[in-house]
Amino acid sequence: MHIRHVLLLPDADEDAEALEVVLPGEAPKAYVQRVTALKLESAVKRLARRGLPSAPILCADTTVALGRTIFGKPNDAQDARRMLRALANRQHRVITAIVLGWGERQVGLCSESKVNFADMNEAAIASYVASGEPMGKAGAYGVQGRAAAYIARISGSYSGIMGLPLFETHQALQILGFVH
């Protein structure tokens, strides 16, 4: 979107993954919105701790949901295989929340897309998991990678499925007056 930006990555002593713990009974949309808000809170503290000037901060988080079941990042290869088996030959949702904060002002928006996976046999799942691509990705896949060969249909936002919905991000930037 041609907006100058700087990454505000967590410090080595920050446990960013701890923010992504699912609370008992938490609905997927509520989960991803809560995690994104926590990421913004942490980023605001990080900005101040580093003595950096006030600046807008954009945070996002993505989750994959099959019904009310949340599929976060797989713990290991076995967990990735479990997720992919569950998603194969079914439709699931990909929900990405963004929050843009600047000072006391915040705008939070959500993108929800539907993804239909084709059937994946055990050999296909094993090969994909062995590639290492599923690790670190919600639902154990990346739409922009090798998993695309098994995605039969998408309804919604491709950029949202990748992890930063550009339409909602642009809307938030408009609301806070950064773009027209």
Catalytic residues: 61
Map tokens 């003595």 to a residue.
51
Q: By the 8 A CB rule, do 98 and 167 touch? A: no
Place of tokens 């998993």: 147
The token duo for 60 is 């996002």
Distance CA 167, CA 160 (A): 9
CA distance 13 to 74: 22
Q: Cβ–Cβ contacts within 10 Å for residue 115, how many?
A: 23
Interatomic CA distance for residues 164 and 96, integer angstroms: 7
Q: State which H helix or E strand residue 146 sits in.
A: none
